[in-house]
Amino acid sequence: MLEIRAGTATAVLPRRRLASLAAGAAVAAALPRPARAQGAPLRVGLMLPFSGTFAALGENIAAAIELHLAERGGRMGGRPLQIIRLDDESNPANAVQNANRLVGRDRAEVLIGTVHSGVVMALVQISRERGIPLIIPNAGNVAATRELCAPSIFRSSFSNWQPAYGMGLALGRQGVKRAAWITWDYAAGNEAGEGFRQGLAAGGGEVVRELKLPFPETNFQPLLAQIPGLNVEAVGSFFAGGGAVQFVREYAAAGLKERIPLCGSGFLTEGVLGPQGAAAEGIRTALHYGDGLDSPKNTAFREAFKARTTRDADVYAVQGYDAAQMLAAGLEAVRGDLGAEAAFVRAIREARIDSPRGAFTLSPSHNPVQNIYLREAKGGQNRVVGIAAEALADPGTGCRMPA
Amino acid sequence: MLVAGRRGSLLLALAALLVAALPLFASNYHLQLASTALVAAMFALSLQLVVGGAGMVSLGHAAFFGIGAYAIHLLPAGISIALTLPAAMALAAIAALAVGALSLRTRGFFFLMTTLAFGQMLFFVFHDTPLGGGKDGVFITRPALELFGLAWEIPRRQRAAAMLWINLGLLAAMYVGLALLMRTLFGRALLGIRGNEDRMRALGYDTRTVKLAAFVLAGALAGVAGHCQAMTEAFVTPEMLAWHHGAEALLMILLGGLGALHGPILGAFAYVGLGEASTLITERQRLVEGLVILAVVLALPRGLAGIGRGWRR
Amino acid sequence: MDLSGLLAQLLNGMQYGLLLFLISSGLTLIFGVMGVINLAHGSLFMIGAYAAFVITGWTGALWLALPAALIGGALFGALLERGLFRHFYRREHLDQVLLTFALILLFEEARSALLGNDFHSVQVPALLDFSVPVTPDFAYSAYRLAVLGACVLVALLMFLGLERTRLGSAVRAAAEKPEMVELLGLDARRIHMAVFALGTALAMLAGALAAPLQSVYPNMGDGFLIISFVVVVVGGVGSVAGAFWGALLIGLVDTLGKAYLPEVAGLAVYVLMAAVLLWRPSGLFAPARG
Contacts of B66 in chain A (CB under 8 A): none
Superfamily holding A161-287+373-392: Response regulator (3.40.50.2300)
Which chain C residues contact residue A10 at CB under 8 A? Answer: 116
Interface test with B, best of C97, C104, C227 (most B CBs within 10 A): C97
Report the length, in residues, of chain A. 403
Query: Touching check for C79 and chain B: CB below 8 Å?
Result: no
At A150, the amino acid letter reads A
Chain-chain contact of C98 with B293 (C-beta, under 8 angstroms): yes
A185 neighbourhood in chain B, CB within 8 Å: 128
Report CB contact under 8 Å: A55, C117.
yes
- Spatial CA neighbour of C8 closest among A253, A243, A231: A253
Residue C172 distance to chain A (closest CA, Å): 33
Contact assignment for C265 to A4 by CB distance below 8 Å: no
Does A214 contact B28 at a Cβ distance shorter than 8 Å? no
Identify the pLDDT of residue C287: 59
Nearest to A118 among B32, B36, B237 (CB): B237
Average pLDDT of chain C to the nearest whole number: 85
- What C142-145 contacts at long range (C-beta under 8 Å, 24+ apart), as own/partner pairs, is C143/C212, C143/C213, C144/A253, C144/C15, C144/C213
* Contacts with B283 from chain A: Cβ below 8 Å: 12-15, 50-51, 87
Mutate which of C11, C108, C114, C121 to test chain A, going by most A C-beta atoms within 10 A?
A: C121
Which residue from A minimizes the CA distance to C138?
Answer: A254
pLDDT tens, C165-181? 888 888 887 777 767 77
Closest alpha carbon within chain B to C269: B121
Task: Inform me whether the C-beta atom of residue A216 falls under 8 Å from chain B C-beta atoms.
Answer: no
A95 in contact with chain B, both atoms CB, cutoff 8 A: yes
**C94 in reach of chain B (CB within 8 A):** yes
Do the chains contact at C95 and B297, CB–CB below 8 Å? yes
Asked if C105 lies within 8 A of B290 by C-beta distance, the reply is yes
| Segment (H or E) for B311 | helix B303-312
**Rounded Cα gap, residues A114 and A136, in angstroms:** 6
How high is the pLDDT of residue A377? 94
Single pTM value for the model: 0.80
Instruction: Please name the residues between 211 and 230 in chain C that touch chain A, using a CB distance below 8 Å.
Output: 213-215, 217-219, 223
Of B50, B79, B81, B76, nearest to B63 (Cα)? B50
Partners of residue A314 in chain C, C-beta under 8 Å: none
The per-residue DSSP string of C122-152 comes to -PPPGGG-SEEEEETTEEEEHHHHHHHHHHH
Closest-CA residue in chain B for A116?
A: B136
Subunits close to C (at least 3 CB pairs below 8 A): A, B
Instruction: State which residue of chain C sits closest to B286, comparing Cα positions.
Output: C105
Each residue's pLDDT tens digit, C45-61: 999 999 999 999 888 88
pLDDT at B283 (0 to 100) = 64
pLDDT value of position B302: 66
- For range C219-247, the mean pLDDT: 87
Distance from CA of A250 to the nearest CA of C (A): 8
Closest partner CB to B258 (pick from C92, C109, C113): C92
A186 in reach of chain B (CB within 8 A): yes
All residues of chain A having their beta carbon less than 8 Å from the beta carbon of residue B139 are 121, 124-125, 148
The answer to whether the CB atoms of C259 and A225 lie below 8 A apart is yes
CB atoms within 10 A of CB A277: 16
Q: CB burial class (10 A; 0-12, 13-18, 19+) of residue B105? A: middle
pLDDT tens digit string along A204-252? 999 999 998 877 777 788 889 889 888 999 999 998 877 888 899 889 9
- Does A242 sit within 8 Å of C119, measured CB to CB? yes
CB contact under 8 A, C97 and B247: yes
Give ranges for CATH 3.40.50.2300 in chain A: 18-158+294-366, 161-287+373-392
- Closest residue of chain A to B244, computed from CA coordinates: A93
Ranges of chain A whose pLDDT falls below 70: 1-39, 52-53, 403
pLDDT of amino acid A30: 40
DSSP per residue, B177-219: HHHHHHHSHHHHHHHHHHH-HHHHHHTT--HHHHHHHHHHHHH
Residue C105 is which amino acid? Answer: L
Mutate: best of B105, B121, B251, B253, partner C, most C CBs <10 A: B121
pLDDT at A403: 61
Chain A residues within 8 angstroms (CB to CB) of chain C:
4-10, 51-56, 211-214, 217-219, 221-226, 228-229, 241-242, 245-246, 249-250, 253-256, 259, 272, 275-277
Measured distance CA(C139)–CA(C5) in Å, rounded: 11
d(CA C284, CA C244): 11
Contact criterion met (CB < 8 Å) for A97 and B32: yes
**Closest by alpha carbon to A346, among A401, A298, A389?**
A401
Q: Does C281 touch chain B (CB under 8 A)?
A: yes
CB contact B130 to A (< 8 Å): no
Whether A121 sits inside 8 A of B27 (CB atoms) is: no
What confidence score (pLDDT) does residue A9 get?
A: 33
Interface test with C, best of A60, A182, A226 (most C CBs within 10 A): A226
Element at C63 (helix H, strand E)? helix C62-83
Q: Supply the CATH classification number for the domain A18-158+294-366.
A: 3.40.50.2300
Burial of A199 (0-12, 13-18, 19+ CB in 10 A): buried
DSSP three-state, residue A373: strand
Chain A residues with CB inside 8 Å of B239's CB?
91-93, 118
- Across A358-372, C182-196, C230-244, the highest mean pLDDT is recorded for A358-372
User: Measured in whole angstroms, how far is the alpha carbon of residue C189 from the centre of its chain?
Assistant: 23
Q: What is the ipTM of this complex?
A: 0.79
Q: Which residue of chain C is at minimal alpha-carbon distance from A218?
A: C214
C50 and chain A in contact, CB less than 8 A? no
Percent of chain C's residues with pLDDT above 70: 96
Task: Give CA–CA dist C18/C28, Å, rounded.
Answer: 15
Helix (H, G, I), strand (E, B) or coil at A209: strand
Report chain C residues whose CB lies below 8 A from the CB of B103. Answer: 277
Question: Residue A375: what pLDDT?
Answer: 95
Which chain B residue's Cα is nearest to C280? B105
Report the Cα–Cα distance between both ends of chain B, in Å, rounded.
18
Quote the longest CA-to-CA distance of chain C.
59
With CB atoms and an 8 Å threshold, state whether B57 touches C97: yes
- Angle among Cα C158, C164, C169 to the nearest 5 degrees reads 85
CA atoms of A149 and A145, how far apart (whole Å): 5
Q: pLDDT for C90-131, tens place per residue?
A: 887 888 888 898 999 899 888 888 887 677 778 888 888 888
Interchain CB distance below 8 Å, C270 and B121: yes
- Helix (H) and strand (E) counts for chain B? 13, 4
Cα separation of A195 and A201, whole Å? 10
**What does the pLDDT read at residue C191?**
87
Tell me which DSSP letter residue A137 carries.
S
C-alpha R_g of chain A: 21
H helices of B50-183, in order, are 61-74, 81-103, 108-128, 159-183
What is residue B141's DSSP assignment?
Answer: P
Per-residue pLDDT in tens (0 to 9) along chain B, 313 residues = 667 778 888 889 999 999 999 999 888 889 999 999 999 999 999 999 998 888 888 989 999 999 999 999 999 988 999 999 999 999 999 999 999 999 998 877 778 888 988 998 899 888 877 788 777 788 888 888 877 777 777 787 788 899 999 999 999 999 999 999 998 989 888 888 888 888 888 888 888 899 999 999 999 999 999 999 999 988 899 989 998 899 899 989 988 887 788 989 999 999 998 888 877 776 677 788 888 888 888 777 666 666 555 433 3
